[in-house]
Structure 1
């Protein structure tokens, strides 16, 4: 949660810094897009490595390296050497390291809590991350920027280093793994993860839907600063307010996620969340008023958390423990590939049709995501597949 606080500062500050360096919507959107591309290149490898190594050690080592990278970037900004190229390089490097960190974190959690408590654990974890990274961090962005353009990045570097120390201090049971077959390669192991994901009808449907949602969110987030400052003619404080309201909605969604899942099942919870998000995006893209944006971001955050908690829990419950890192990597690589595409589409659409067009584009894509989930809406069967099988035997 500590590093999420710094991440939120950096995520909010990067677009604002990019706008100071260029007024081209496509170039601004490229900063966000570049932060997703490493998932396409290294995501599957990150999952295979996460299944091989001590996940706790991998997490603190990654945070240590990320802290040093952001500290160097903060120094460059402070000395007046910031450039779009440097922003792109930072986004690419941090996400490359994140491919290992996120897969290791997903695979580590089931070894810490019972299977029946995974949903609650994910909800608490994601809610805590949003509390630290969104609601608490958002108001600090304008304050830090008044001190200096480098300050959000200085804070981010410090949180990475602190997080590395905290993770390194954890004492967890080492994961129990069977010896790998002789001659096993990363390529073969990543292929096993992809096939296991594809054979599970429920996870496959959720992956496709998440891919579509990420196209929509990529288009929206990459151009949100332009939506606020250009279409609504509001300032940096309004942009920070939108991000803070989104975080507040996420906190509420974290409290609702498990309750909704218990009543409807996890896939139906995703259907509800996607439907509400679609309506929120329509509101944001058609009503040129800050209040409409804030209401839309509140609902978008709440239902986004409902989506995230149930999507991750479903994957953890239906995956063999020894393959969870690879299945998670295959899922994230496939679904995250939509974000850079969406970011570039958002920039192009904003330039061609207006600064509110990305929100409307996102609404259309979210509607398609909801539609793609309908065939998988049968009652949930949250059974954990044994380690010697794929998830193919669990069908809904």
Structure 2
């Protein structure tokens, strides 16, 4: 999510309403650094513990499954509680879990089962944290600058993930296998302290009604998503695109090594190109929207760019072309992600933002594992470049689905931001 690293968090509160955005930005960046350490070190540790590819894959699966199991529940809880307190409490708990895990690694007591449990537990907690964070941001910054705020958040996180945390993790592991996990624990605790220091008023919530249950509130979130034409179309578009992204992510190393014929250097080149593109996209997202004159029109163009560059990636067998294609893909993808988050925040009622955000995430992310399997099957059946072309087709389909929404208007709520929904 994105921001200018040179400027850092200093002075941003003045531009974002003085609501503590600098501390929220710092917490997000610190946490992203820890995530990058863990995300790099955990697969390496899993590979050292077992040679079974299925067990190694299960570590990733356990870090994904909780979104499908608990994503909607996390959104409902986020709308019931003080989001700031929920975020720092979750980070405190995750920090303690990571510290315990680091001690187990240092003692040589960490087996593959513990890795699976840790990955599942951390992502389960993340379902509450991420939905609370989405709902909290509009209480920290004015809604008029949400696009810029989201861009700064995403960019700062991407910079530390790609260019700081990822490269540092193997160095720390060289000193001690437990060190990246201990550092991750420290980042959780620091992020918790930063979020706890925020002073924001709780968003307005409907008066409590007897008989209301989490199940009913989850259903309201799903109805809110379904009842808004823009969010419904956007979610379907993202869901289709995520199937394609699952295929691309799962088989990227196969495409680079087996089709392009490049070794580790080639893989680093294309992933570095992607990282550079994502950072640049975050920095320029607001200017791109201003130049194109609308959020949804910008998203439509971003989807078209991603489709075209993937076709080039999957048909031109040249390493530098692939690196450039993924840089453009990352640029357009970050612009898309910034606007996706902003549109949800702007259109959903404040009292339902956690639930609608959770419904959007859960529905749209469900196709990612399907896409991973599809990519593997395509590579076996049609060759190592086919997952890229499959991804291009699905991202193109998602862009086509979004076109009628754009033609119907650029997404400004006609009812003052309130989404009508039927009685439970």
Question: TM-score, normalised on structure 1?
Answer: 0.88
Cα deviation, 1:79-112, whole Å, max 9, x if unaligned, reads 5555554443333222111110111011111111
**How many residue pairs end up in the alignment?**
391
**Aligned: 1:382 with 2:412:** yes
Q: Distance in 1 between matches of 2:209 and 2:356?
A: 19
**Aligned: 1:256 with 2:275:** no
Q: CA deviation at 1:52?
A: 0.6
1:343 to 361, 372, 386: 372
Q: Which residues of structure 2 form unaligned runs of 5+?
A: 1-28
Cα pair 2:303 2:336 within 8 Å, conserved: yes
Q: CA deviation at 1:224?
A: 3.5
- Greater RCO structure (CA 8 Å; 6+ sep): 1
Change (3 A) 1:100 1:302: same
Q: Distance in 2 between matches of 1:203 and 1:36?
A: 23
Q: CA deviation at 1:50?
A: 0.5
Q: CA deviation at 1:280?
A: 2.9
Query: What pairs up with 1:245-394 in 2 under 5 angstroms?
Result: 245-262=273-290, 263-350=292-379, 353-378=382-407, 379-383=409-413, 385-386=415-416, 389-390=419-420
Moved more, 332-341 or 218-227: 218-227
Cα deviation, 1:274-326, whole Å, max 9, x if unaligned, reads 12222333344344554344223312221111101111111111111111111
Change (3 A) 1:155 1:247: farther
Moved more, 79-88 or 5-14: 79-88
Cα deviation, 1:183-223, whole Å, max 9, x if unaligned, reads 11111111111101101111111101111222222222234
Q: Distance in 2 between matches of 1:384 and 1:125?
A: 28
Cα pair 1:29 1:343 within 8 Å, conserved: no
What residue number does 1:122 align with? 150
What residue number does 1:174 align with? 202
Change (3 A) 1:367 1:151: farther
Query: What pairs up with 1:224-239 in 2 under 5 angstroms?
Result: 224-228=252-256, 232-235=261-264, 239=267
Q: Distance in 2 between matches of 1:230 and 1:13?
A: 25
Cα pair 2:91 2:188 within 8 Å, conserved: yes
Q: Distance in 2 between matches of 1:20 and 1:222?
A: 21
Moved more, 109-118 or 68-77: 68-77
What is the RMSD of the two structures over their aligned residues, measured on CA atoms?
A: 2.8
Moved more, 239-248 or 42-51: 239-248
Q: Which residues of structure 1 form unaligned runs of 5+?
A: none
Moved more, 262-271 or 71-80: 71-80
Cα pair 1:28 1:223 within 8 Å, conserved: no
Q: Distance in 1 between matches of 2:289 and 2:240?
A: 22
SS class of match (1:136): helix
Cα deviation, 1:35-87, whole Å, max 9, x if unaligned, reads 22211111111111101101001001111222233333444444555555444
Q: CA deviation at 1:347?
A: 4.0
Q: Distance in 1 between matches of 2:121 and 2:234?
A: 28
Change (3 A) 1:112 1:242: same
Change (3 A) 1:34 1:355: farther
What residue number does 1:196 align with? 224
